[in-house]
């Protein structure tokens, strides 16, 4: 799918984050965060609960405004950044209609013509294994099915970048596995994924690059394998050893 | 600007609905403001279909107290009135709101009260003495207090009895602000005396312990009149149709029909239109 | 007293089994007037309610409180206001709408509007809380947000509609004043009950009341079943 949807030379990536800070009610939630998000394998935002992962994702996606610093899409097509990214939340926000209609709705919001929508919905349902559930009301699906639908719906928009906030935090191991498979499939098809998790094992399964967040600060960033084998910071070491709970 | 953009389509919609909902009523109709007694007694149910068959005019009745009927007439919201309060009627006509007042028919007011009759008014033919007796022992009395013809007549009778009943309002004298039927319901519930028009009393079903105790004073005479709303005051009124209806009320046939309406073998309204009177 | 209730039951039963044409006409008119009034109110009320839930503007809180207070507006007051507006001597007298079913529809619409508006605002506000981030992620415009929320809240909005209908069909104060309780023209169930009470025919009045309650119950039950079915089979 990739060549069709994202010729690399006209994308919105990379995303440049510089000296980013977020202050709410005189509490510094994020301080002085700088990094660059580039195309490639999934970037995993790792950290304990309360480290600021969700906030950072929302800032990158444009749902929050930073107090200081800047977030800028620097690719050729940066002007259309809003329409070329999507986000999946920890608790899936599904509409009160069928599985297929949820996907159809997302496409409609982007102005996709009706005829095109139908084939695209069928295609996405098929690739995400949701076809058998197509007519079921979305809100009565199991947690894993709901999250897969949320992923499928986001993916249907053919985003160049897909943000995911703890997508498996509320799921059992089997559901987690199927969601992770889907994430890998989406990544392989060419969408850049930035995913937050507090689950070290999940990070090891999915990450190409790790951003390690600790108490609102970006403590480490770099190649995933390197982080897991020899973390450079005290906090990173503690986290990898499973000793750091917050 | 934006307001009218909202309101105009709504108004158009309403008028469309109005047109559809009134499409069946193609017959010429007039609106008649009248009293609760004429309606509650079933008189209109009897008379209006006969009148329509004869005149072709459908009559839509708004049954309210005489005071309110006069207000409706003043505003031009009806085409004719059929009411019973001579002083109010004269004022209405003299102020130019109405024309062509014709006295149609009469009945009378009666004193109704509990069988036990604590004030001892039974068969007393002096209305002032009746009220005096009620006031003297402070027996419960319910008044319509709604500025209706009956209420206005009651107030004149208290004056004649030299009893300031309104000063006792809230104790034994109870001002309801209600129609004749509601007032009778209350009187039945409280075992109270009240003044009622005979027509409503005769057709009233929820009597409880109440019975007719006193009647017959000439001052209890209750004259009903018809008045047409002045077309010069309110050019939109259906003067001709309304006049056709009132002409029928005062015709020999109409008068005969009025006198033929009976409840419990009693004539409710006695026709008394006098062609020679203005 | 028990007597009154058994008599009422008999009266209601007689009216129903004899398919009394006058009664049928009155029930039909009651339903027509209230359904149209609720429909008109919903048309505007849903939109305004959703807008109040979504938009932020100076004076919004005032409007919200005003609408909430309006839910308890006495029907007679509305009746009086509409009467004065539609009277021949009033600003809209030229339309000749006083003492017509249309006047009753107007009065009931005004009566029901704050209810539908307030309840739908509440429904939409709750939904928006749930969906706000997702909508911003989708980058929706205000129009899209409103349309989506109204559709998402359709089952709960049906409840708002029913609350409005219940109030409209049961009120007597407004329709009595602006309709005039004219036989075969503006007589509805509640004004017929008032008339029979005035005639002292309490059994018949109560019998009509039973029919009114049954009608309201039937409408609510139907709506409940539709809602229940739709929620389980929401496509």
Kindly report the nearest CA distance between residue C193 and chain B, in angstroms.
12
Kindly report the nearest CA distance between residue C159 and chain B, in angstroms.
24
Cis amide linkage into residue A14, ω under 30° from 0: yes
Q: Which residues 50-109 of B have a C-beta within 8 angstroms of C?
A: 60-63, 74-77
The CA distance from B29 to B78, in Å, is 11
Token code pair at residue B170: 């809230």
Minimum Cα–Cα distance from C4: chain B residue: B206
Question: Can you give the pLDDT at residue B7?
Answer: 66
Which pLDDT band, with edges at 50, 70 and 90, does C233 fall under? low
Across the interface, do A89 and C234 touch by the CB < 8 Å criterion? no
Question: Can you give the pLDDT at residue B22?
Answer: 56
Token code pair at residue B115: 């069988």
> SS3 for B81?
strand
The CA distance from A52 to A31, in Å, is 10
Q: Is the dihedral of CA A139, A141, A147, A152 positive or negative?
A: negative
Question: Can you give the pLDDT at residue B278?
Answer: 58
Question: Can you give the pLDDT at residue B5?
Answer: 62
A173 CB-near residues (< 8 Å, 6+ apart): none
Do B113 and B210 form a contact (C-beta atoms < 8 A)? Answer: yes
**Percentage of residues of chain C with pLDDT beyond 90:** 59
Do A57 and A45 form a contact (C-beta atoms < 8 A)? Answer: yes
Do B264 and B202 form a contact (C-beta atoms < 8 A)? Answer: yes
The CA distance from A77 to A7, in Å, is 11
Q: Which partners does chain B have (≥3 C-beta pairs < 8 Å)?
A: C
Report in angstroms the alpha-carbon separations of A36 from A15, A17, A33, A135, C137.
6, 6, 10, 41, 21
CB of B181 within 8 Å of a chain C CB? The answer is: yes
Domain with CATH 3.40.190.10 in chain B: 28-107+223-271, 108-220
Which pLDDT band, with edges at 50, 70 and 90, does C219 fall under? confident
- Domains of chain A, earliest start first: 2-93+159-240 (3.40.50.300)
Residues of C in contact with B13 (CB under 8 A): 40
Question: Can you give the pLDDT at residue C235?
Answer: 42
> Mean per-residue pLDDT for A208-236?
91
What DSSP assignment string belongs to A172-226? Answer: -HHHHHHHHHHHHHHHHTT-EEEEEES-HHHHHHH-SEEEEEETTEEEEEEEHHH
Render pLDDT for A153-200 as a digit per residue (tens, 0 to 9). Answer: 999 999 999 999 999 988 999 999 999 999 999 999 999 999 999 999
CB of B199 within 8 Å of a chain C CB? The answer is: no
Residues of C in contact with B184 (CB under 8 A): 200
Looking up tokens 């990450």 gives A207
Asked whether B and A share 3 or more beta-carbon pairs under 8 angstroms, the answer is no
Do B106 and B270 form a contact (C-beta atoms < 8 A)? Answer: yes
Nearest Cα residue to B158 out of A19, C64, B145, B170: B145
Do C23 and C15 form a contact (C-beta atoms < 8 A)? Answer: yes
Report in angstroms the alpha-carbon separations of A185 from A129, A152, B91, B256, C82.
12, 11, 92, 97, 65
- Domains of chain C, earliest start first: 22-201 (1.10.3720.10)
How does pLDDT run along chain B (278 residues), one tens digit per residue?
Answer: 444 566 666 667 776 766 655 545 556 899 999 998 888 888 999 999 999 999 999 999 999 988 999 999 999 999 999 999 999 999 999 999 999 999 999 999 999 999 999 999 999 999 999 999 999 999 999 999 988 889 999 999 999 999 999 899 889 999 998 888 889 999 999 999 999 999 899 888 888 899 999 999 999 999 999 999 999 999 999 999 999 999 999 999 999 999 999 988 889 999 999 887 65
Range with the poorest average pLDDT among A85-99, C25-39, C151-165, C221-235: C221-235
Residues of A in contact with C133 (CB under 8 A): 58, 63, 89, 93
Question: Can you give the pLDDT at residue A9?
Answer: 60
Question: Can you give the pLDDT at residue C17?
Answer: 77
Q: At what angle do helices C202-232 and C154-170 cross, to 10 degrees?
A: 170
Render pLDDT for A112-167 as a digit per residue (tens, 0 to 9). Answer: 999 999 999 999 999 999 999 999 999 889 999 999 999 999 999 999 999 999 99
More confident residue, B277 or C40: C40
Pick among 2.30.130.10, 3.40.50.10860, 3.40.190.10, 2.60.120.380: CATH of B108-220? 3.40.190.10
Question: Can you give the pLDDT at residue B19?
Answer: 61
Across the interface, do B15 and C197 touch by the CB < 8 Å criterion? no
CB of C22 within 8 Å of a chain B CB? The answer is: no
CB of B25 within 8 Å of a chain C CB? The answer is: yes
Minimum Cα–Cα distance from B74: chain C residue: C89
**Percentage of residues of chain A with pLDDT beyond 70:** 95
> Mean per-residue pLDDT for A12-17?
89
Asked if pLDDT for residue A1 goes beyond 50, the answer is: no
| C-beta atoms surrounding B126 within 10 Å | 16
Across the interface, do B75 and C89 touch by the CB < 8 Å criterion? yes
Question: Can you give the pLDDT at residue A73?
Answer: 92
Which of B181, B183, B204 best tests the C interface by mutation, with the highest count of C CBs <10 A?
Answer: B181
CB of C131 within 8 Å of a chain A CB? The answer is: yes
CB of C158 within 8 Å of a chain B CB? The answer is: no
Question: Can you give the pLDDT at residue B20?
Answer: 59
Predicted ipTM of the assembly: 0.87
Residues of B in contact with C99 (CB under 8 A): 31, 60, 62, 77
The CA distance from C60 to C87, in Å, is 33
The CA distance from A165 to A194, in Å, is 9
Token code pair at residue C165: 């209908």
The strand pairing partners of B105, in sequence order, are: B224, B271
Minimum Cα–Cα distance from B7: chain C residue: C44
Say which CATH superfamily domain B28-107+223-271 falls into: Periplasmic binding protein-like II (3.40.190.10)
Q: Which partners does chain A have (≥3 C-beta pairs < 8 Å)?
A: C
Render pLDDT for C12-35 as a digit per residue (tens, 0 to 9). Answer: 788 777 777 888 889 899 999 999
Across the interface, do C181 and B63 touch by the CB < 8 Å criterion? yes
């Amino acid at each position: 799918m990739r060549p069709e949807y994202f010729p690399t030379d006209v994308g919105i990536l990379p995303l440049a984050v510089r000296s980013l800070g977020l202050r709410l009610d005189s509490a510094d939630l994020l301080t002085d965060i700088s990094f660059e998000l580039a195309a490639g394998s999934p970037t995993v935002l790792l950290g304990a609960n309360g480290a600021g992962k969700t906030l950072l994702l929302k800032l990158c996606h444009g749902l929050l405004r930073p107090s200081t610093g800047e977030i800028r899409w620097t690719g050729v097509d940066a002007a259309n950044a809003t329409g070329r990214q999507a986000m999946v939340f920890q608790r899936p926000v599904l509409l009160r209609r069928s599985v297929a209609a949820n996907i159809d709705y997302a496409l409609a919001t982007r102005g996709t013509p009706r005829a095109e929508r139908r084939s695209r919905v069928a295609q996405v349902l098929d690739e995400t294994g949701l076809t058998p559930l197509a007519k079921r009301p979305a809100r009565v699906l199991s947690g894993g099915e709901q999250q897969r639908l949320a992923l499928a719906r986001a993916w249907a928009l053919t985003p160049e970048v897909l943000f995911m906030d703890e997508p498996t935090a509320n799921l059992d191991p089997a559901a987690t596995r199927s969601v992770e498979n889907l994430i890998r499939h989406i990544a392989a098809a060419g969408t850049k994924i930035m995913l937050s998790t507090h689950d070290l094992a999940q990070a090891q399964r999915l990450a190409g690059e790790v951003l390690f967040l600790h108490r609102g600060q970006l403590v480490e960033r770099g190649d995933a394998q390197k982080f897991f084998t020899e973390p450079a910071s005290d906090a990173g070491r503690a986290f990898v050893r499973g000793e750091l709970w917050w | 600007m934006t307001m009218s953009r909202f309101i105009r389509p709504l108004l158009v919609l309403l008028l469309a609905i109005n047109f559809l909902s009134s499409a069946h009523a193609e017959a010429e109709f007039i609106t008649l403001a009248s009293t609760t007694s004429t309606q509650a007694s079933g008189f209109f149910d009897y008379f209006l279909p006969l009148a329509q068959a004869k005149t072709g005019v459908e009559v839509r009745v708004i049954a309210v107290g005489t005071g309110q009927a006069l207000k409706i007439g003043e505003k031009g919201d009806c085409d004719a009135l059929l009411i019973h309060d001579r002083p109010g009627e004269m004022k209405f006509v003299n102020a130019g709101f109405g024309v062509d007042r014709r006295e149609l028919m009469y009945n009378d007011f009666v004193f109704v009260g509990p069988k036990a009759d604590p004030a001892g008014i039974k068969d007393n033919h002096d209305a002032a003495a009746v009220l005096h007796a009620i006031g003297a022992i402070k027996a419960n009395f319910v008044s319509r207090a709604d500025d209706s013809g009956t209420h206005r007549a009651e107030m004149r009778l208290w004056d004649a009895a030299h009893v300031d009943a309104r000063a006792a309002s809230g104790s034994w004298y109870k001002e309801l602000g209600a129609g004749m039927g509601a007032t009778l319901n209350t009187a039945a519930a409280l075992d109270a005396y009240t003044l009622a028009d005979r027509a409503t009393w005769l057709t009233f079903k929820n009597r409880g312990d109440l019975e007719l105790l006193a009647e017959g004073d000439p001052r209890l005479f209750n004259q009903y009149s018809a008045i047409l709303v002045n077309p010069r005051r309110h050019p939109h009124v259906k003067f001709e149709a309304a006049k056709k209806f009132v002409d029928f009320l005062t015709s020999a046939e109409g008068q005969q029909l009025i006198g033929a309406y009976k409840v419990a073998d009693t004539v409710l309204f006695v026709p008394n239109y006098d062609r020679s009177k203005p | 007293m028990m007597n009154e209730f058994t008599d009422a039951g008999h009266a209601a039963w007689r009216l129903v089994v004899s398919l009394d044409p006058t009664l049928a006409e009155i029930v039909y008119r009651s339903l027509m007037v209230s359904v149209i009034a609720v429909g008109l109110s919903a048309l505007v009320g849903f939109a305004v309610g959703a807008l109040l839930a979504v938009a932020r503007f100076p004076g919004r809180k005032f409007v919200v409180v005003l609408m909430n207070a309006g839910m308890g507006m006495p029907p007679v007051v509305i009746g009086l206001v509409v009467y004065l507006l539609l009277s021949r001597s009033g600003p809209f007298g030229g339309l000749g709408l006083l003492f017509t079913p249309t006047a009753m529809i107007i009065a009931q619409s005004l009566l029901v509007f704050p209810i539908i508006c307030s309840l739908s605002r509440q429904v939409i506000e709750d939904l928006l809380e749930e969906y706000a981030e997702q909508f911003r992620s989708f980058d929706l415009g205000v129009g899209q947000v409103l349309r989506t929320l109204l559709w998402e809240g359709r089952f709960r909005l049906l409840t708002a509609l029913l609350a409005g209908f219940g109030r409209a069909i049961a009120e007597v104060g407004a329709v009595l004043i602006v309709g005039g309780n004219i036989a075969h023209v503006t007589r509805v169930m509640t004004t017929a009950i008032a008339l029979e009470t005035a005639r002292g025919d309490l059994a018949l009045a109560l019998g009509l009341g039973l029919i009114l309650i049954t009608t309201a119950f039937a409408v609510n039950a139907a709506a409940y079943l539709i809602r229940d079915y739709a929620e389980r089979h929401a496509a």
